[in-house]
Amino acid sequence: MKRSLFLALTMLAGVLLAAANEQPAPVPTTGELLYARKCGICHAEGGTGTIMLGWRLGREQAVLAKRTDVAAEYVKAVVRSGLNSMPAITRVEVTDEELSAIADYLARDTDPGADPDE
């Protein structure tokens, strides 16, 4: 519980910091909206997927949407195959078209030449 309390405080600090540096919010892309709706249940800050990634890769790598080392094709492979305790996601739950948009959103800051391990 101490761990979860720490996470909650970290998240709160992030929210307060964002408010202090308030600037016009960028318009969310379709991929960003889809990611929030389809993946956010687990992968938003404080979510179970975020906690699990934090344990495995460290807190800096825990929030998928902030990563700069995930390739689009890797995202697609993980979603369809599952990874560790993440179940595979069907083409009914997230269509191929939706998955492409989500993958492009997550890979937006990734160097295409990078060799991601996650």
Question: What is the binding site for another protein (CB under 8 A)?
Answer: 1-4, 41-42, 47-48, 51-52, 55-56, 80-82, 84-85, 87-93, 95
**Which of 45, 49, 39 has its CA nearest to residue 83?**
49
How far, rounded to the nearest angstrom, does the alpha carbon of residue 101 sit from its chain's CA centroid?
A: 13
- Nearer to another protein by Cβ, of 42 and 108: the residue is 42
The amino acid occupying position 16 is L
Spatial neighbors of 53 by CB under 8 A, at least 6 apart, are 61, 62, 63, 64, 118
Question: What's the closest the beta carbon of residue 23 comes to another protein, in angstroms?
Answer: 26
Question: What's the closest the beta carbon of residue 108 comes to another protein, in angstroms?
Answer: 25
Question: What's the closest the beta carbon of residue 84 comes to another protein, in angstroms?
Answer: 6
